[in-house]
Structures are given as structure tokens and as C-alpha cells.
Amino acid sequence: MTQTSSVTAHTLDVPGAHLYYEVRGSGPLIAMVGAPMNAAAFAPAADLLATDHTVLTMDPRGHQSSVLDDPEQDSTPELRADDLARILTHLDAGPAVVLGSSGGAVTTLALVQAHPELVSTAIAHEPPLNLLLDNRDELRIQTTDLVATYAGGDRIGAWRKFMANANIQMPEPVFQQMFGGDPAPADLASERFWYLHEIEGTGWWQPDLAALRATPVRVVAGIGATSTNQFCDHTTRALAAELGIEPTLFPGGHTGFVEDPATFVTRLREVLS
């Protein structure tokens, strides 16, 4: 049997949403979550981990196959944390290691605050936490402008502003490959939901730093080794400083688990050991 043949797909009904998730492998439970990244982005890394772990991946609410009863409902870290808590409870295989990336890292921190009993180790990989930075007023203006640009119909302009705000340098051919052309309808719907219903609630979430300092959960602040001086490098270092922990480097950049899954998983195993 190949690794990928053991993947099973499921749907769990929760208040206001129908959540799509995948389970592969066997052994201790690891959940890998993003926002807006969906289950497919984590699949190569999940396949590697599934040799000795049960691996949970999911589409976050409002994206791809996780549909909402009200498609205009905003997605908040608290709602996504509740979604993840319901899946973990349904699986009854925890407490789990939870690796959250980007908006999923914010989800993970919200889960630790609300349901520490469900988590053994929480790896917050590059959470975009605006409120931890000194230039939060400037960032608020940038976020408002970014969302308005997308809402006004200029999706390419919005992506250019997003990359500039994140201080991520990208060659033009790569940018066009990622964001140009005509996206598939499901991808376009996911993009729209993120800009109009998720990015503000995620980036401007206020972590309960006292609760995170006091939690029995091991919290890891993860940074991509090539993310130096990017926005999420600054926010993750600010989080680590607030929690009194050292940042933990992972291979690659903001999406190192996509860039080189094998190297990323090797590092993840080191961190967990």
C-alpha cells in the first residue's frame, strides 16, 4: 500500500459549516492547518509524516470543500479553533501536535487558549499578528487599503500590495504564475473569501499573552530560515519575545512545507523529539 492510498476523506457538520478534512497514517496525532491554505497544500508533507503518525489536514471554513451555510459569514480565529477542536474531539486521538501556518498559526494559538487539553505541542509557524508590532497604526491603514483594492475589483493590484506589505520579493514571472491568468472558480471563491471575510479578523486578532505564557502546552514560534526581515519574521519574533521563548527556525520561507516537504518534515521531527 502506498502512503497516499491510506488517505480517507471526511465531512463533519458543525454550527454554520460543513468541514472537509483528511486523515492518513497511524500513530500519534499531528494536525496541520492553514488559513487560507487548505488540505491539499499540506498533503506532500502529511504523506511523509504518515509513516509513523496519524495526520489530520483540513480545508478551513469558507475554503474549497468546507462550505458555510452563510457564505458571507466572516472567519475568525475563534471560529476556526472551535472547528479544529470539534474535529480533534471527534477523532478522539489526542492530545495532538498542531502545526499551524500563517493564518493557521493564529488558529493554533486560539485553540491553545480555548482548548489546551486537546494540544500537546503547538507550532505557530509565522503567525501574522499585527498588534504585536510597533507600527500597528500604519499596518491598519495598509490592511484597509488592501481589502478595498480587492473589493474594488483589482485582484492583481491587491496581490501586489499584499506582497509588498509582507516584504516578500518575487520575480515577475513567478508572480504572474501564482496570481495571473484566470483562476479556477473554486480558487477564486477561496481568494475572495480570504480577502473579504478572513484577512482582517486573522491579522488583527489579539492573543491572550498571559494565557499563552501560563499554558501547559508547549508553544513553538516557528520561522522560515529564508523569511529574514519579512513581515511574519517580525511578528513571530515579537510573539516569541512576549512568551519568553526563542524562535525556532524551519527550512524554507513562509511556506517551507510546500517548497521542500522532505526537508521541512525532517526538521519538524527534530523539533518534536
Model confidence pLDDT, tens digit, residues 179-189: 888 889 999 99
Domain 4-134+205-272 superfamily per CATH: Alpha/Beta hydrolase fold, catalytic domain (3.40.50.1820)
pLDDT value of residue 4: 46
Nearest C-alpha neighbor of 205 from the set 61, 84, 105: 105
Nearest C-alpha neighbor of 73 from the set 123, 18, 29: 18
Q: What's the full length of the chain, in residues?
A: 273
Nearest C-alpha neighbor of 255 from the set 53, 111, 52, 104: 104
Confidence of residue 175 (pLDDT cuts 50, 70, 90): confident
Model confidence pLDDT, tens digit, residues 101-155: 999 999 999 999 999 999 999 999 999 999 999 999 999 999 999 999 999 999 9
pLDDT value of residue 180: 85
Q: Which of 166-170, 251-255, 265-269 has the lowest mean pLDDT?
A: 166-170
What's the rounded Cα separation, in Å, for the pair 265 and 137? 37
Residue type, 156: I
